[in-house]
Amino acid sequence: MGILLSGLSGGQWFGIFLVFLVVVVAISAIKIVPQAHAYVIERLGTYQSTWGVGFHMKMPIFDKVAHKVSLKEQVVDFAPQPVITKDNVTMRIDTVVFFQITDPKLFAYGVENPIMAIENLTATTLRNIIGDLELDQTLTSRETINTKMRATLDEATDPWGIKVNRVELKNIIPPAAIQDAMEKQMKAERERREQILIAEGEKKSAILRAEGQKESLILSAEAEKQSAILRAEAAKEATIRKAEGEAEAILKVQQATADGIRALNEAAPVKEVLTLKSLEAFEKSADGKATKIIIPSEIASMAGLASSLTEIVQSSKE
């Protein structure tokens, strides 16, 4: 190999050099654009075209890749910016911007430093929006502020080939004195809610106790009512049974009396026997307690006759 190279003449060396140079230039003219990227091509310092994804060849020496642009969504976190609210409270707010390049040519030639331009535009827009809000509104209106800033930035960055997808307020940092006041207010609010919860708990507990006592009294009254009803029914039953017993006894006495009268009638007693029975009845009615008994004259005469008969019978026995 060394012998072959040493045997080459000057013209041959020049030819090899030209071939090598052509190969190098041809290779340098080949460009492959990766996914989610775009190349801005200039020819002799003038915009020529924008290359998308894939294989491309440029004209050697005359064409060059002026800008390589990423088409992915990008996130920029800007430093906290001092802003003043409507009620003259100075606070610091840092923002996060999500944007995407939609036109590589406008992005390359629209503004000198696109990121710095977006940062300054974000700061001025934020000051304009916060300047119309008070402190409390600023702290509670993040979504509203985000929406307004996104709309404003998206419209302003259209000439730069940039689309702003989202804007988020990352931190809102009020002054130390305001933070202390807010913490005290939050503490007082928490204590107030705690007292309200305790009072509501005691109220519900008292209501439950009162309802329990009410239920107890109702149940006690209901029990007494049932007991009184049962006692009344028992007394009624006893009275009925007593009355039934007395009625049954009266019926039996009347039945016995009727049987006696019936037997007496069947025996066909004489007048004297009837008179004696009447006297026995008067004796029973007196029962040793009556002081005066009026006896009909017929019974009295019969009684005298009976006495005479008794004496005759006794004398005959003697």
Residue 42, strand partner residues: 47, 64
Q: What is the pLDDT of residues 39-93, one digit of tens each?
A: 999 998 899 999 999 998 888 888 889 999 999 999 999 988 899 888 888 889 9
Domain for residue 2, yes or no? no
Residue type, 65: V
Residue 169's φ and ψ, nearest 5 degrees, are -80, 110
Range of the domain at 308: 270-318
Single out the residue of 44, 191, 40, 175 nearest to residue 101, CA to CA. Answer: 40
Q: What is the pLDDT of residues 123-142, one digit of tens each?
A: 999 999 999 988 888 888 88
Whether residues 227 and 316 share a domain: the answer is no
Whether residues 85 and 150 share a domain: the answer is yes
Residue 114 has pLDDT above 60, yes or no: yes
Residue 39, strand partner residues: 51, 68
Q: What is the pLDDT of residues 218-257, one digit of tens each?
A: 988 888 888 888 888 888 888 888 888 888 888 887 787 7
Rg (CA), the chain: 66
Overall number of domains in the chain? 4
Whether residues 64 and 131 share a domain: the answer is no
Residue type, 28: S
pLDDT given for residue 233 in this prediction:
87
Query: Dihedral of CA 86/90/96/100: which sign?
Result: positive
pLDDT given for residue 275 in this prediction:
63
Whether residues 80 and 169 share a domain: the answer is yes
pLDDT given for residue 312 in this prediction:
45
The domain that holds 112 is classified in CATH as 3.30.479.30
Residue 288 has pLDDT above 60, yes or no: no
Whether residues 299 and 246 share a domain: the answer is no
Domain for residue 4, yes or no? no
Whether residues 188 and 170 share a domain: the answer is no
Q: How far apart are the first and last CA of the chain?
A: 204
Strands 46-51 and 74-77: unpaired
- The pTM assigned to this predicted structure is 0.54
